[in-house]
Amino acid sequence: MTHKELLELLTENDILFVVIGGVAMRVYGDPRPSSGIDLAVRTLDVDAILELLYSRSYYLITWVDADRATIVLDAAAAADRVESEKAGAMSLARLRYLPRKESIPLEEILAESQVNVFFEPGVPIARLAANAQTVELPDVSFRVAAVEDLITMEERRPDGSEAEGEDLRFLRRLLRRGS
């Protein structure tokens, strides 16, 4: 499923979402490539999102190390796992083959299919949606987080990698140009 098909699916199923992360950065002109997609959603839509994505052969990824990943094999167990962990985010992806067990080789994950879903993104989803820019494509329109909100989310991230520093510099330059 392409990113566009994913956005159409969520829209058709009345899931409120805002595109954040690398795809949002690309909308604003950042040249850095991004293979997956990051979405901010309402917490109350998490179970519906899991059902929709599992029905299209996506799996919740719960652990990744140097050469293996752990996945959850069914949507109900995935919903239980997300609820019990209270992590505020989940990552799903399609696999090259139908999995038979929860531990899989890392190369089975189709990186371009990865969907990171944030339901505690550091900015309330209502604010993200209200401030968002709407992007119109031929078959679907979707919201992209405003530059200011992307900055707030980046500033609140605990890890602060070099790439995130670059993202912040890019976003702040955009904000200065727009003023």
Q: Is residue 173 one of the residues assigned to a domain?
A: no
Model confidence, pTM: 0.91
Model pLDDT for residues 35-65, shown as the tens digit of each residue = 889 999 999 999 999 999 999 999 999 999 9
Element containing residue 2 per DSSP (H, E): none
How many angstroms separate the CA atoms of 150 and 127, rounded?
Answer: 12
Q: Is residue 174 one of the residues assigned to a domain?
A: no
- Selection from 105, 112, 118, 103 nearest residue 42 by Cα: 118
Cα atoms in the 13 Å half-sphere on the side-chain side of 69: 20
Q: Is residue 158's pLDDT more than 80?
A: no
Domain at 153, CATH number = 3.30.460
Give the range of the structural domain holding residue 41, as residue numbers without chain letter. Answer: 3-166
**Mean local confidence (pLDDT), 65-87:** 95
Cα atoms in the 13 Å half-sphere on the side-chain side of 40: 25
Question: 33 pLDDT band (50/70/90 cuts)?
Answer: confident
Task: Indicate the number of domains in the chain.
Answer: 1
Element containing residue 61 per DSSP (H, E): strand 58-64
Model pLDDT for residues 114-138, shown as the tens digit of each residue = 999 999 788 999 999 999 999 998 8
